[in-house]
Structure 1
Amino acid sequence: MESFQTIGSPIMWGGFIAFVIAMLALDLGVFHRKAHSVSFKEAAAWSAVWVSLSLVFNGFLWWRYGAGPGMEFLTGYLIEKSLSVDNIFVFVVIFSTMKVPALYQHRVLFWGILSALVLRAAMIFAGVAMLERFHWLIYVFGAFLIITGVKLFIQRNHEEHPEDGWLMRTARRVIPSTPHFDGQHFLTVENGRKLATPLLMALMLVEASDVLFALDSIPAIFAVTRDPFIVFTSNIFAILGLRSLFFLMAGAMEKFTYLKVGLSGVLVFVGAKMALVDVVHLSPAVSLGVIALVLGASIVASLVKARNTPPHAPGSETSSDVSRDTAAPAKS
């Protein structure tokens, strides 16, 4: 039975968790104490903050533990960050179809991502424990990622409709709800009854989408490292920056035509790396280079196509239009 080592001491674990709690408290208690629409400038600033903090932490690992753990963290962070972009496509659809005003979108994402932190921590430790006991699961995870990557490529132009899924249909039957918003509250009272507002329904969809995406992203990082501390910290840094990334990119998602092609390529690559782990051994530097090349090529190809495509093709609705629609309050 293989035993996995970790660079994380109890002090490192405690310090990192305390840092995350402090940043979340600062975010909600100071910078977003009052509900407001997140501007592009604010989103860009917060994105720069989270990326900078991630790179500083990466530099610390590199200095303290050497190039191996440092490269593993950077590769894992890039994988998680790129795969989290797929969440943004779904978030745009959720907020648009449920007509969530831009004023309250940050609140939904904050609580959705807070629960995602707890969920991913549980999934990471469960995954490490299972791989430690059952080595053959590495091949299952690898095959799953390859299949997921191929499926993502085939369905790259498929429109998402999470509001029509079984989760939302079941929730509407089980949870008394109202189609009317009550400020930034998840629950309201109408005619003496406590009802769920559309914000709570949107939160449920955000959390459900993260569960689905975690099924891809957690196994993917195990192709790079199985050190629980590196897996956990790279995941958390990617998730913490997801909200600002959403507000930064939501209005320009239509420009990234080939991004899902790149993401599917990353999934197939890391899946093959896991499936062939006992045959082919790639260094973290090679993995990082391949992943960066695939993602970079898909982004460059997308921007080239966007530049050569008329901005208002007949019959096409851009993500900018969608994001503007979410800013309009729902009519009661």
Structure 2
Amino acid sequence: MAGATVAVPLWAWAAVAAVIAVMLAVDVLLHRDNHVIELREALVWSGVWIAAGLLFGLVVWFGLGGDPAIAYYSGYLLEKALSVDNVFVFALLFGYFRVPPGYQHKVLFWGVVGALAFRLLFILAGAELLDRLAWAGFVLGAFLIWTGWRLAVRGEPDVDPERNPVVRLFRRAVPTDARYHGDRFTARVDGRRRATLLLVTLVAIEATDVVFAVDSVAAILAITTNAFLVWTATAFAVLGLRSLYFCLAGLLRHFGYLRYGLALLLAFAGLKVILAKTPVGKLPIWLTLTVVVLTLVVSIVASILAARRARRAAG
């Protein structure tokens, strides 16, 4: 797989981690007043995070070569596209818990921090399995094809937190108060420290994201098993998830065909992994990037055109 044999020094991991930490710190300072994120601000921050992700691809290109850079961009675009589904579910969770708009950014911020940690664990474990166990590629490929089929045929995702085992376990293990106490995750109630509803919301976000992380990490590992490329592509895509949420939360229903495009990409990733274990061999990395870009463009354009036809028919 592309980039699998590229050696990345430890200082490069540390440098990327430091850059991400600085950008997160700046984000916290600029949003410490819990103001409501308006569309204009969300668009600006989306541009910042997208620019950072694209510029890092150039760093990979000059530092590691063309194939690793293309593998990075393919993984970045795939994770970015799959993040759209996360946004839809996050919107449902915020609506379920009736999270005040001013507190949503804080929940998403810490949700992203947790997402980066969980994804790093999945990436390191998944890359090691694929490198050591030949049959793991067939299992991963079959899983991705099944995931694509499930995404294509399912209806609106079920995000009822009351049925989420992690949320239920948290509520049983940790004393909670079913109210908001400003932007605090814990508060003293009747002389006892309790988790607030904001912390319960964060747990629901994290628990839901873990499910998405399994699918997205598996899909990027189908492109490359180089842990550095997979994690950086994932990290830069996930870091823009908060601003993407505030840009798209009210627009997702207009992209009706995007889900089918994502399903096709997951199935393609699964087929790519399986073919790599057969005499056909690895598909060219340029072909992967072409399929990712064309699928996203076609599904988005088809969604926009379908929405326009529906508005004309209704008018």
Query: 1:327: which partner in 2?
Result: none
Partners of 2:97 and 2:303 lie apart in 1 by: 28
* Partner AA of 1:295 in structure 2: L
Query: 2:99: which partner in 1?
Result: 100
Alignment map for 1:3-18 (pairs within 5 Å): 4-18=4-18
Q: CA deviation at 1:280?
A: 4.1
Q: Is the 8 A contact 1:162 1:205 kept in 2?
A: no
Partners of 1:216 and 1:159 lie apart in 2 by: 15
Q: CA deviation at 1:122?
A: 1.3
Secondary structure at the residue paired with 1:194? strand
Alignment map for 1:1-332 (pairs within 5 Å): 4-28=4-28, 30-155=29-154, 157-167=155-165, 168-278=167-277, 279-310=280-311
The unaligned stretches of length 5 or more in structure 1 are 314-332
Query: Do the aligned partners of residues 307 and 139 (structure 1) sit closer, same or farther apart at CA in structure 2, a change above 3 Å counting?
Result: same
Deviations 1:274-317 (A, max 9, x none): 11113243111111111111111111111112222249x8xxxx
Partners of 1:239 and 1:4 lie apart in 2 by: 22
Q: How many positions carry a matched residue from both structures?
A: 309
Deviates more, 1:36-45 or 1:159-168: 159-168
- What is the identity percentage for the equivalent residue pairs of Structure 1 and Structure 2? 41
Secondary structure at the residue paired with 1:188? strand
Partners of 2:25 and 2:254 lie apart in 1 by: 34
* Partner AA of 2:149 in structure 1: V
Partners of 1:58 and 1:4 lie apart in 2 by: 16
Partners of 1:36 and 1:284 lie apart in 2 by: 43
Q: CA deviation at 1:98?
A: 0.5
Deviations 1:16-63 (A, max 9, x none): 1111111111111x2112111111111100110111111111112112
Q: CA deviation at 1:209?
A: 1.3
Deviations 1:72-125 (A, max 9, x none): 111010111111111111100000011001100000011111011111111111
Partners of 2:281 and 2:153 lie apart in 1 by: 27
The unaligned stretches of length 5 or more in structure 2 are none
Partners of 1:11 and 1:159 lie apart in 2 by: 41
* Partner AA of 2:25 in structure 1: A
Give RMSD over aligned pairs. Answer: 1.8
Partners of 1:15 and 1:166 lie apart in 2 by: 37
Partners of 1:288 and 1:211 lie apart in 2 by: 26
TM-score (norm 2): 0.93
TM-score (norm 1): 0.89
